[in-house]
Each structure stands twice: as structure tokens, then as C-alpha cells.
Amino acid sequence: MSGIIPILAAGLVLGIGAVLAASFMGRSKGGTKTKNRDAIMKEANKKLVQNPRDHEALLAVGDIYYQEETWDLALRTYETLSELTAAHPTLDEFTIYQRYGIAALKLNQSAEAHKALSTAMTINPEDFEVNYNLGNLEFQRKNYEKAIFYFQKARIRDPEHAPTLRGLGHSLFKTKKYKEALAFIRKAIDLAPDDKESLYTLAECYYEANQTEQALKIFAHLRADPVMGPSACLFSGTINMNQHQHDKAIEDFEIGLKHENIKPEILIELKYRLATAYLREQEIAKAISLLREVQGINPSYKDVNVLITRYQELNANKNLQIYLMAPQADFIALCRKIVMGYYSRAKIKVTNISVNKSDGVDILAEVDTPKWSDVVMFRFNRSQGSVGELIVRDFHSHIKEVKAGKGICITPGGFSEEAKRYTEARLIDLIAKEKFTAMLNSVDVRSARITGQTAK
């Protein structure tokens, strides 16, 4: 054991000595590099004082500025060098224009960058940096076909470069080549998993390729993302609305609105879509509140004013809600109640109920009053629009078919002039919005039930 300790001590001393030597050599090299850089700059600047267009001195300082990423000085230097290429054929024209373009790109001078890189491309059409950066510039200009061309060339030089694959995928998406875009965006995400924007575009590609479930999974994953979350919620909710999954759509829109710093155009659309989803679920008070918020942001947004006007009345009139929006069984129960109370001091017996072609209902009733008795056909139209002549003609045919003596055609909207003229010489009464509203207000729907009758 005593023999081993001196050996270990000696080894430790040697190890420390080696580390110190390496450290010293590293500092020495760094110092030499700094010294060389300073010497080059000093010599070059001396030449430039005598001749500001000394191409050798400009090449020397330009290389240093470029390597150190001092982009403003690099840009001015290579711009000057580009003007000297014709007078000095020995200059590396490609490198000068390539670096000139990249420096301009770094400084967001896209027009200068495009011009310089396009010149470099004519000299060396296969260079990766030139093609990749031109692809980005064309994408920014929305010249997506040109962007695809440059990204494809860059991909040949570096097939695993994630930004190139990303740019190519996004460009293909913009040109509606969704299936082609899918492959490149997927690969770009494999190489750069934190790229949430590409993940969002991937979901859009799945949606456009009719792979809706895949799209919804990605949008659901992105809903909590602080940047992409609001847009993902809007898209996911819209898909669910289109599939009549209103409860899921409401959840999507509500999550979207919980985010902070939402883009104004996304915020107003989330509120609008959530309001329409609430309307589908007959939560009218919530819908109106949101619609008023939308109106406060943009008074002329879509049909928000029309919706507020229409549904404010609905919100104040439970019977009207049932008539226009309730399931068919509740709608028919209300219509039956209206029929039973239509004639005062009359015995009324409903003998038949049938759903008509326009999603309304026809109710046949035997009416017995102190002065007369007859069979009366009632037609209830659910649409708030104008009832036209064709619907009235169809109703008249049904009256004759069942041998009813009279018809009552009821609508929450109005009747066209043609419909009114058609009924002038026929035993059909037209009940439009004003009289209809008065009828609704007189009905107590709490006791409205369909007893012994079914819709046919």
C-alpha cells in the first residue's frame, strides 16, 4: 500500500500539470488569434485610409465582420466589393454576393438580399445557402411556387436540414398540395419537435386531406399552447360544430378564450363562434351576451346585429324559443296547445298530426262551436322567412285531400304577395308575425302535452 501512494501522487501532479499546460496553450492561441485579428484590421484600415476602395483591404475586414456577425459593417463592405468585381476579375464574385445577400437578410433588407442572392445563384446555382435563403425570401413574398423550386434545390444538398423541409412543406401547403406537404412537415417536426407552427400546419393538412380525426388530435394537443392555442381552439371548435358536436365545440371555444394576448381577429371570431354554438344548444342568454361583446368590438361584424335582434326577442319569449328551436316533440306539443285554444267556447278534438315537407306540422281538428261545426286544418311553419305561394298551394292540396272545410296557415314571419293573392278566393286564413306573437303570448305551455296522438 505504501508503494502505491507515491505513484498516485506523482500521477496527480502530472495530471494537474497537463490541465494547466492545456489551459495556458488555449489562452495563448486565443491571444494569438485576437492579436492576428487586430493586426489584420490595423493593416487593412491603414490601406483604406489611403484608398477606401482597396479591394484586398476590404476583403480582409469584410471577412472579419462576417465571421463576427457584425452585419451592418459586413453589408457595407460587401456592397462596395460587389461594385469592384468588374474591375478586379480575380475577386471571388460568388462569395461576395452570397455574403452581401446574407448580411442584408440578417438586417431585414429583403429587397437587397433578394437581389444579391439572385446574382450569386446565377454564378453557382447549386449552393445550399443561396437556394435556402432565396426560398425563404420567395415564401415571404408569397411566391410559393418559386419558394418550392429553391427549397427543393436546397434539399438536394442537405436532405436532413429541418428548416428547408419546413419551408418546403409550408410552401406546398400554401399551394394546396396537402398530401405532398404532409410528408415534408412531418419530417421537419421529427427533426425539430418544438416547432408548434409546423404542428398546427400539419393538422391543417390532415383536415384538408379529409383525415379529420388526426387533425382534431393535434389541435387538441395545441389548445394549451400560449401562442398557437387560440387558433387551434378556433379550428378544432369549427370542426366539431360542422360535425354537430356542439358541446365539444363550446369546450374548444371556451378554452381558446381563456388565453391571454389573443390576436384581435382570433378573439372576435372565437366569441362569435361560441355565441353561435350556444344558440345551437338553446343557451340564448349566454349567446346574446357574447354577441354584444362582438358588437362592441366591431358593430358590423358578419350578421351579429341581425342575430342580436332576432334572439333578443327569443330570449324574452319562452314560447317563441320552443316554436323555433325546441325538439320536434316540444314544438308539436306547443302547436297542439295553440289549436286547442284557437276558438273560444268551442269543443276541439285533434284527429291527426303530420310533419310537412318544410319541417313544420299540419294538425287536423274537429271543431264544434255553438254556431257551426267543421273540420279545420292548421299548418304551422317554423321558418321566420316569407312563406311563398308554393307552400300555400301545397297546404291547399292537403286541405282538399283530407276533406277539411277550412285552413289556417300560421308563420312567425310573413307571407309573400303571391301567397296572399292565392288565398283571396279560398277558405284559408293567413296568420303572420303580429297575430302569431299574440297567440303565443296567450298559451301556457307548461300543460302542453301530446296525448293519444303521434306525428306521422
Query: How do residues 294-342 score in pLDDT, each as one tens digit?
Result: 999 999 999 999 999 989 888 888 898 889 888 899 999 999 999 999 9
Query: How do residues 40-73 score in pLDDT, each as one tens digit?
Result: 888 888 888 889 898 999 999 999 999 999 999 9
Indicate whether 286 pLDDT > 80: yes
Provide mean pLDDT across the span 206-217. Answer: 95
Label residue 54 exposed, middle or buried (CB < 10 Å: 0-12, 13-18, 19+): middle
Query: How do residues 184-203 score in pLDDT, each as one tens digit?
Result: 999 999 999 999 999 999 99
CATH of residue 70's domain is: 1.25.40.10
On whether both 29 and 112 belong to a single domain, the answer is no
Indicate whether 214 pLDDT > 90: yes
Give, as one character, the DSSP assignment of residue 356: -
Domain membership of residue 413 (yes or no) is yes
Structural domain of 373: 328-447
Which of 241, 257, 273 terminates a domain? The answer is: 257
The enclosing H or E element of 249 equals helix 246-257
Q: What total of structural domains would you count in the chain? A: 3
pLDDT at 33: 58
Cβ neighbours for 420, distance < 8 A, ≥ 6 positions apart: 430
On whether both 217 and 113 belong to a single domain, the answer is yes
Which of 199, 222, 257 terminates a domain? The answer is: 257
User: Using alpha carbons only, what angle is made at residue 231 by residues 230 and 232, rounded to the nearest 5 degrees?
Assistant: 90
Closest Cα partner for 100 from 90, 123, 87? 123
CB-side neighbour CA atoms (13 Å) of 230: 17
Strand pairing partners for 355? 361
On whether both 213 and 341 belong to a single domain, the answer is no
In this structure, the number of other CB atoms found within 10 A of the CB of residue 276 comes to 19
Q: What percent of the chain has pLDDT over 90?
A: 76
On whether both 3 and 77 belong to a single domain, the answer is no
Nearest-angstrom CA–CA distance, 398 and 406: 11
Domain membership of residue 300 (yes or no) is no
Indicate whether 434 pLDDT > 50: yes
Provide mean pLDDT across the span 199-219. Answer: 96
Which region among 32-36, 89-93, 103-107 has the lowest average model confidence (pLDDT)? 32-36
Domain membership of residue 309 (yes or no) is no
Most confident of 49-53, 290-294, 433-437: 290-294
Domain membership of residue 197 (yes or no) is yes
pLDDT at 34: 64
On whether both 11 and 87 belong to a single domain, the answer is no
Domain membership of residue 276 (yes or no) is no
On whether both 134 and 190 belong to a single domain, the answer is yes
On whether both 53 and 82 belong to a single domain, the answer is yes
On whether both 9 and 51 belong to a single domain, the answer is no
Nearest-angstrom CA–CA distance, 323 and 365: 20
Provide mean pLDDT across the span 102-109. Answer: 96
Cβ neighbours for 3, distance < 8 A, ≥ 6 positions apart: none
Domain membership of residue 162 (yes or no) is yes
Domain membership of residue 82 (yes or no) is yes
Which of 234, 257, 280 terminates a domain? The answer is: 257
On whether both 23 and 54 belong to a single domain, the answer is no
Query: How do residues 2-35 score in pLDDT, each as one tens digit?
Result: 343 333 233 333 333 333 333 333 333 444 556 6
Domain membership of residue 143 (yes or no) is yes
pLDDT at 242: 95
Its pTM stands at 0.71
Provide mean pLDDT across the span 93-104. Answer: 96
- Give the three-state DSSP class for 455: strand
pLDDT at 358: 72
pLDDT at 218: 97
In this structure, the number of other CB atoms found within 10 A of the CB of residue 382 comes to 18
On whether both 62 and 173 belong to a single domain, the answer is yes
On whether both 4 and 91 belong to a single domain, the answer is no
- Give the three-state DSSP class for 414: strand
Nearest-angstrom CA–CA distance, 78 and 74: 6
Provide mean pLDDT across the span 210-234. Answer: 96
Strand pairing partners for 428? 407
Provide mean pLDDT across the span 155-160. Answer: 96
User: Could you tell me the three cell numbers for 130?
Assistant: 443561396
Label residue 316 exposed, middle or buried (CB < 10 Å: 0-12, 13-18, 19+): exposed
- Please say whether the beta carbons of 268 and 298 come within 8 A: yes
Query: How do residues 334-369 score in pLDDT, each as one tens digit?
Result: 999 999 999 989 999 999 999 987 779 999 999 999
On whether both 2 and 130 belong to a single domain, the answer is no
